[in-house]
Structure 1
């Protein structure tokens, strides 16, 4: 199994509107933390998540979280 590229060893906190989002799982997107299609040709697929209302979220950039797409502190162990 391939390992994702670590985009950063820290999370990104954003205030997002309600709606669907696609989190980059491969780490290669130039539009972190969101997918830009850079995973094509790899085993990685973007992870869809939906917010029901406007919300502040902390998204993983190290790509090692167990709580996809949210940061679980895994970056501290890298």
Structure 2
């Protein structure tokens, strides 16, 4: 099993649609961040589904260190200069 790769140093804002499912890239290797493109194959990691409960803007984590996956909890601020 591989560790997740940091895909960025800040979250990315996404306008989500109520009832739609999104698949957050948990491995950090996707070229379509913050969403999965299948790059996790062979890593032992899997994308995390997220279903929007309302039409709103959410902040998806890119550092892959969040405790509230797939949403940002500010963890990127703790380990960057």
Tell me, which stretches of 5 or more residues in structure 1 are unaligned?
A: none
Matching of residue 10 in structure 1 with residue 6 in structure 2: no
Determine helix, strand or coil for the equivalent of 1:75. helix
Aligned residue number for residue 36 of structure 1? 37
Tell me, which stretches of 5 or more residues in structure 2 are unaligned?
A: none
- The Cα of 1:54 is off from its aligned counterpart by 1.2
Q: How does 1:39-78 map to 2 (within 5 A)?
A: 39-78=40-79
Q: How far apart in 2 are the matches of 1:34 and 1:63?
A: 12
Determine helix, strand or coil for the equivalent of 1:57. strand
Deviations for 1:40-68, whole angstroms, at most 9, x for unmatched residues? 01111000010122111011000000000
What is the count of residue pairs matched by the alignment? 78
Deviating 4+ runs (over 4 angstroms): none
Normalized against structure 1, the TM-score is what?
0.93
Determine helix, strand or coil for the equivalent of 1:58. strand
